[in-house]
Structure 1
Amino acid sequence: MTANTNRKMAWYAVRTVPGAQKPRREFAVEPTSLDKDGRPRGKGYRIVPNLNHNMSAIERALTENGFDCYMPSEKRLIRDRKHTDLWKVRRFALLVGYVFVREPRDWRLLEATPGVAGIVKAADGSPLPIDIMDILAVRAAEADAEVEFDRRSRLARQVLRKNAKTDPRLKMLIGKLDIAGSLSVPLDYQFQAA
């Protein structure tokens, strides 16, 4: 066997700048509607900002530079600002300020990546490898957070369905969101997770 196949996967911790673990704002181009003559109104397009809540800015920057990264995260229910009876799912970093990178090829490129504040180093100044058992312990904590999120999500849906029985405005709102596919609430609020 060669030395590469015998070697273990090495993970390294990277410190992030403040705000790098939040979702990255993206911009999409949408065509504008046509006027009565069939011509586009204005320039014919508009730029619409939106957030990709499934990927943070640091994860995207590291991936674009060709690094394999892992940011432990947890999901939380956050109250919607427009409809205060509803909740949105948001992703937050479990270890604030740190991301793990697997076997970086180019240390200078890693340090120059936007959102990277530095690499966690040993006392002699070399990058400090993280033991795979520590990564697995972090993944176990992430799985525990996922179980807790599922429990809270189920309870929030039960309360929402219960309140919708007496509030016609809320019932109509849930019906619209169910049709749009942006909210899936079990009809039977005695639902139990397997």
Structure 2
Amino acid sequence: MQDELRRLHRELGTTFVFVTHDQEEALALSSNIAIFNQGRLQQLGSPSEVYERPSNRFVAEFLGDINILPVEGVGRDAKVEGQAIALPAPQGSARSHVAIRPEHMRLARPGEAGNALPMRLVDQIYLGAESRLQLQTRGGVPIVLNIPNSATPNAIEVGSEVLVGWDAQNSFLI
């Protein structure tokens, strides 16, 4: 049905208003997405713009999975749980959390470029082509990481500590 709606939209060249609570369907079918909260418009933009650069925490949490870490300090002094991190630009003191989509995080090695935090593996869920790792920072913040099964180390066990990394450009401040 989604393919047929996309084809009709392309061929007819007219505006469609499609209301759905299915996030994947909204991303797949839309040229623009409007996110509302209690009748108020929160963000309007292309699917990639709204997903990758949400305007606020509500939009970030509403559209897809998101990891949100509290940030202390700004600029070069920014830290998460005492660990120095690089923030995406622009930086501002009013925004106190950094958000990263699960697919933009990875298992990291010590000394690897980018941000990295030690976390404890709480659970590992096999999903076929990928696995969903449920983790927890030392401070207790829950984190979800989606990784291809080809990149999942066999030796990783629930309860063990791993290093989770991400690049600053794949995160955003909220």
Q: TM-score, normalised by structure 2?
A: 0.19
**Larger helix fraction of residues:** 1
Q: Which structure: larger Rg?
A: 1
**Larger strand fraction of residues:** 2
Q: TM-score, normalised by structure 1?
A: 0.18
